[in-house]
Each structure stands twice: as C-alpha cells, then as structure tokens.
Amino acid sequence: MAALSDTIYALSSGGLPSGVAVVRLSGPRAIEILETLCEDQLPPTRVAGLRTLRLADGSFLDEALVLIFRGPNSFTGEDCAEIHLHGSRAVVAATLGYLAGFSAVRMAEAGEFSRRAFQNGKLDLVEVEGLSDLLAADTEMQRRLAVEQSSGHFSSVYEGWREKLIFARAMIEAELDFSDEGDIPGSISDQIWTDVSGLIREMEAVANSQKSGEIIRDGFKVALAGRPNAGKSSLMNALVQRDVAIVTDVAGTTRDIIRCELDLDGYKVHLFDTAGLRDTDEIVEREGIRRAHEAIADADLVLHLVDLTDLEAVEDISGVSVWRVGTKTDLSPVTFDFDASNFDALVSAVSGSGLVDLREALTAEVKRRTAVSSVAVPSRLRQTQNIVSAASYLRAALEHRHKPLELRAEDLRLASDELYRLTGRIDTEMLLGKIFSEFCVGK
C-alpha cells in the first residue's frame, strides 16, 4: 500500500461510455486540485454545483457537477471531491491525465478509498465487508444482508457484547483490587457470571446462523444429477428459460459442469448440470463423472433426476438433501408405470408440467434453510470463527471455577480481543490486504 499522505483519484462509476462518469479524489490536495479545475469557483461544502472545467492551458474540458466533502465529514475521513463528467472516454481520459500531473497525486489502488475509511475510523471491518457485498449483490436478499452489515447494524450487536465484557471485567477487577475493603461485598464478580452465560448463548446462536448467511450471500447450490439422458440439461434450460446447456439424444453429451443462476424470490440459486452417472471407459467422460460426484458432494441440495421411461436403469444417489425427480412426464403413460409416491417431484421440460411446482418447492427449501429472525447474521467464515473463539474463552472462564480469578479475567480479555479482531481493531496486514483487494478501483 502506497503512502497515505498521497492524494488519490479514480473513476468510481461504471464502464465507459456512459451518461455520467464520476471521478473521485481523496487526500490533502483533493479540494485544491478541484479548485484549479473550476478556476477557484468551488461550490459550498456538500452542495453540488455546475461548473466549467478547464485544463492547465485554459482550454475547455467539460461542464460538470462538482462536490466537495471536507474531512472528517466524508466517506474516507479526508478531504474529498467528486467530479460528475459527461461519460465519454475522451473526457475521462483528459481528466485523469490532468490529475496525474500533480505531485503527490496518484491513481487509487483497488479498494483504497474504503481502506482509508477503515483506517480513519469511518468504517469497521464488518461494515467494509458488508459494503463489498453490497457492491456485488445480485438479489434482494443479498442486498438486505449486505445493508445490515454495511450500515453497522451487525456491528452494533458485537459492540453490545463488548460492553458487557467490559462491565464483567470491571467487576472482577473491583473484587481483585478492593477485596480487603470493608465496604466491598464479597464475591461481587459472582454477579456477572450469569450475564456471561447468557452472552455465550447469544454468541453460539449467532454463530449457528452462519450457514444461513453464507447461503444468502453466496447462493444456494443445487446439483442436477442422474444417468445420461435423464433430462438434466433439459430441466436446467427449462428452469432458467434459456438454452444454457446442449440437449441431444446422444448419451453423455454433458462432459463438464455447466452452471447458471436463478433468482428465486430474492434468493440466489446456483444450478449445476452434471455429467450423466454411469460406468464408462471413455477418459473424458470419466473425468466429467468425477467432477459430477464432486458437485453432488458440495451441493446444498441434489435433484436426482430419474427418466420415467427407463426405471430399470436408475442408479442410487443417497443423502439427506436429495430429492427424487421424475422426468419426461409428457410421454405417453402407457409406455411406463411408476409409483408417484416414490418421487418428490414430477416434471416435463417439454410440456412444462410440474416446473412451477418445482420452482415453488425450491424457493420454500431455500427459505427454510435460511430461516432466521433477522438477516443480521454472519456471512463470512472469518466472522464466525471469531465469534466461536470468543465464546470458547467465555465458556472456559465460566466452567473452570477452580481457576484463580485472575486467570478467569484473562479469559474474558481474550474473548474481548476476538471481538476486536472481528471488527478489525486488532488484525493483521495480510487479512486487510485480502479484504480490500476484492474491491474495484474507485471504491
């Protein structure tokens, strides 16, 4: 990471050309530079103003909206400026070229604006991760989860835990420091262990909701599995209502994993079309089948497709999260005989029969798997690991009553440190680098 004393700039809007292009600046020279562009005609702070922009030689650049945000009341906590230009490549290139001519001014690195906001105390690490998720959100539930984190709602839960630990440690310190005083009642720290027990239950409940947050954030994985020509590719095409997989009568057409996405009532669902499961000596098909087994093992739900016209060739796919789906119900009933009670769903990709019911069943299953009282839940393994670690230290302090009070107080301190790591107040440079590298340049 380059020097924090530099002023940074970047195109913060989307790809060019566009109706409007937003160039953002942050750092000690941000407002000064904007002043030169506007010929000293800056608008009031936090008020958009239409200004004529001119280059160093006085030539016309563009007519644009400009804003200034003086630190610390800005996104990064530093002096910031925004230039809302016409979104042509030529205008933006000329603007960025002009900014590059100033000393101690450089192009921002990926995520550097957000990193400065974090380092200046404007955001904690959970809020930063939520902001990253908000920028990447595709569905309504992803947006809601990201807003809970980026707006600080989830951080406020952690802050409440931390305050309870501060109080608990204060009570223990009081007993250790003033136990000989006549006006200090004995064992006042005993009053806090009930609160610690409740805190453990809260932490464990939140940690247990991590899978729900992970599904909302990353999507619900559904693998379509079965023998060759069971109708997997046809069903995928029918569910997403476009041709994403090749469909032929030739067995073994699908060799590699084909993935596409569904939005089911605001939840992202990943569909995986897999190679048909059978014994084969063909080396490419065998590799596809190996990958199919990996996708099945990694899926949140497996749709085991069974061709109703060839029930004798049904293979076994066992597991708790496996639905048996009968396919090709559009064919004449006289050609096959089956017991419908042996299937979780019956569909036809050709006629569309059963597809609505299957989509509704998938939606209900995703909602069941993510049933939480609030979307303020951890969505990353890092967050859950810190919560679980903090709860383990608290449990050690609570259950090992034979330990000296000083050591039990140390367990509470270690639990507090885990919560600090959760929000980034104690962390490593490697973790920060990984998180901020996921941002786009300009954010």
The CATH number of the domain where 311 resides is what? 3.40.50.300
Higher pLDDT, 428 or 28: 28
Q: Which of 23-32, 111-120, 307-316 has the lowest mean pLDDT?
A: 307-316
Per DSSP, the three-state class of 27 is coil
Given a cut of 90, is residue 52 above it in pLDDT? yes
Q: Are residues 173 and 298 in the same domain?
A: no
Tokens of 55: 């280059």
Asked whether residue 435 is assigned to any structural domain, the reply reads no
Q: Are residues 235 and 365 in the same domain?
A: yes
Percentage of the chain surpassing pLDDT 90? Answer: 46
Q: Are residues 281 and 189 in the same domain?
A: no
Given a cut of 90, is residue 148 above it in pLDDT? no
pLDDT, tens digit, 9 for 90 and up, residues 279-314: 888 888 888 889 989 999 999 999 999 988 877 767
Instruction: For residue 435, name the pLDDT band (cuts at 50, 70, 90).
Output: low
Q: Which of 73-82, 165-174, 430-439 has the lowest mean pLDDT?
A: 430-439
CA distance 365 to 293: 22
pLDDT recorded at residue 338: 67
pLDDT recorded at residue 170: 81
Q: Are residues 390 and 362 in the same domain?
A: no
Asked whether residue 432 is assigned to any structural domain, the reply reads no
pLDDT recorded at residue 247: 57
pLDDT recorded at residue 440: 72
Given a cut of 90, is residue 278 above it in pLDDT? no
Rg (CA), the chain: 29
Asked whether residue 440 is assigned to any structural domain, the reply reads no
Q: Are residues 29 and 14 in the same domain?
A: yes
Query: Which of 88, 122, 156 is at the close of a domain?
Result: 122
> What does the pLDDT average to over 9-19?
92
Instruction: For residue 105, name the pLDDT band (cuts at 50, 70, 90).
Output: very high
Q: Which of 182-186, 279-283, 320-324, 390-394 has the lowest mean pLDDT?
A: 182-186
pLDDT recorded at residue 1: 47
Per DSSP, the three-state class of 214 is helix
CA distance 169 to 177: 12
**The one-letter amino acid at 61:** L
- DSSP state for residue 231 in the 8-state scheme: S
Q: How far is CA 150 from CA 55, 142, 373, in A?
A: 38, 12, 19
How would you label 35-53 residue by residue, b for 16+ Cβ within 10 Å and e otherwise? bebbeeebbeeeeeeebeb
Given a cut of 50, is residue 187 above it in pLDDT? yes
Total residue count of the chain as it appears in this document: 443
Given a cut of 70, is residue 211 above it in pLDDT? yes
pTM over 0.85: no
Tokens of 239: 């569910």
Given a cut of 70, is residue 128 above it in pLDDT? yes
pLDDT, tens digit, 9 for 90 and up, residues 162-175: 888 888 888 887 77
pLDDT, tens digit, 9 for 90 and up, residues 222-238: 999 998 888 888 899 88
pLDDT recorded at residue 76: 96
Chain-centre distance for alpha carbon 159: 21
Q: Are residues 94 and 25 in the same domain?
A: yes
Given a cut of 50, is residue 388 above it in pLDDT? yes
Contacts 24+ apart (CB under 8 A), 69-73: 69/45, 70/31, 70/45, 71/120, 72/120, 72/122, 73/46
Q: Are residues 234 and 356 in the same domain?
A: yes
Asked whether residue 15 is assigned to any structural domain, the reply reads yes
Give the domain range for residue 155: 127-209+377-424
Q: Count structural domains, the chain.
A: 3
